[in-house]
């Protein structure tokens, strides 16, 4: 499995590099651009993803900024996979925190406009990009933490589930879950497997069959997320947690991960 994940995650992206520089259809959002200290660098080349690498800690923060709701369009997914691949190849990078620049939304999931009225070729390319995003995150050799600072339905939840650890803002208005059934869609088996691996069989059955969206407290109770913290502490807690994980000697935290080490 590990070999499959790693090899699948490495297939060429160069043909899609041309998509970089395509601007958001919605545009216009003012994202905060933190001032970087000398040991920090912006590794970002993309308009929809901000990557900030701290060389002193080996931690990168990957911030999604695809307004209005961080929907996972083909352009966005391509940029995401390229950004993650670059970090994977950066020997100094050991951990990635995934978060959102948008207020109240982590990610609204797959961009529904990519699935409506498009050619079979476009749908195929889009679907490949969704799978690639999942393969890259789920099979990453870095520690990955989702700092969930807003709602995260469907594909947004999949993204969070593909990380090693999930920290969510304890705002009861935010929800997370694989709600595809409610949309008349059957979640693919790898969505299901990712959920089962996180919450167990029974909770996953209920969750998928009913298309449940969980409030932040319910998500914690179900095991969909690992920790709730006040909204303004999500990112700092993710950094502290990452530091703990990276303190595990050698590659042991990665090596102990059943999904990476099972083959």
| 153 touching ligand TC6, by CB under 6 A | yes
Among 20, 185, 203, 254, indicate the residue that binds ligand TC6 (CB under 6 A). 185
Q: In whole angstroms, how large is the CA radius of gyration of the chain? A: 17
To the query of whether residue 155 is one of the catalytic residues in this protein, the response is yes
Closest listed residue to residue 108, CA positions, set 148, 76, 71: 71
Q: With binding defined as CB under 6 A, does residue 192 bind ligand TC6?
A: no
Distance CA 109, CA 70 (A): 8
Spot the catalytic one: 180, 208, 212, 224: 180
User: What does the alpha-carbon distance between residue 140 and residue 104 come to, in Å, rounded to a whole number?
Assistant: 27
Contacting residues for 244 by C-beta, under 8 A, at least 6 apart:
none
- Tell me whether residue 180 is one of the annotated catalytic residues: yes
Residue entry with tokens 């499959």: 4
Quote the tokens at residue 171.
């705002």
Decide: is 68 part of the binding site for ligand TC6 (CB under 6 A): yes
Q: Look up 149 and say whether it is catalytic.
A: no
179 assigned to active site: yes
**In this chain, which stretch among 35-43, 134-142, 185-193, 203-211 interacts with ligand TC6, using CB under 6 A?**
185-193
Query: Which one among 77, 93, 98, 108 touches ligand TC6, defined by CB under 6 A?
Result: 108
Q: What is the largest CA-CA distance in the chain?
A: 51
| 139 lies in the binding site for ligand TC6 (CB under 6 A) | no
Tell me the residue number closest to ligand TC6, measured at CB.
109
By CB under 6 A, tell whether 50 contacts ligand TC6. Answer: no
């Amino acid at each position: 499995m590990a070999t499959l994940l790693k090899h699948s995650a490495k297939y060429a992206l160069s043909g899609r590099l041309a998509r970089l520089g395509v601007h958001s259809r919605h545009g216009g959002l003012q994202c905060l651009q933190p001032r970087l200290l000398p040991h920090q660098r912006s590794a970002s080349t993309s308009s929809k993803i901000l990557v900030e690498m701290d060389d002193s800690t080996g931690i990168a923060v990957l911030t999604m900024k695809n307004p209005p709701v961080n929907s996972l369009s083909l352009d966005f997914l391509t940029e995401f996979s390229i950004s993650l691949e670059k970090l994977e190849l950066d020997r100094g990078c050991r951990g990635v925190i995934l978060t959102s620049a948008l207020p109240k939304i982590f990610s609204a999931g797959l961009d529904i406009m990519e699935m409506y009225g498009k050619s079979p070729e476009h749908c195929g390319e889009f679907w490949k990009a969704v799978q690639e995003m999942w393969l890259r995150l789920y099979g990453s050799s870095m520690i990955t933490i989702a700092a969930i600072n807003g709602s995260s339905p469907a594909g947004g939840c999949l993204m969070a589930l593909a990380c090693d650890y999930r920290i969510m803002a304890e705002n009861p208005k935010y929800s997370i879950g694989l709600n595809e059934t409610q949309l008349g869609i059957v979640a693919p088996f790898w969505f299901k497997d990712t959920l089962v691996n996180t919450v167990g069989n029974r909770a996953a059955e209920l969750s998928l069959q009913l298309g449940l969206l969980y409030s932040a407290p319910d998500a914690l109770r179900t095991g969909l997320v690992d920790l709730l913290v006040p909204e303004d502490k999500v990112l700092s807690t993710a950094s502290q947690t990452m530091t703990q994980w990276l303190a595990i000697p050698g590659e042991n935290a990665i090596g102990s991960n059943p999904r990476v080490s099972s083959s």
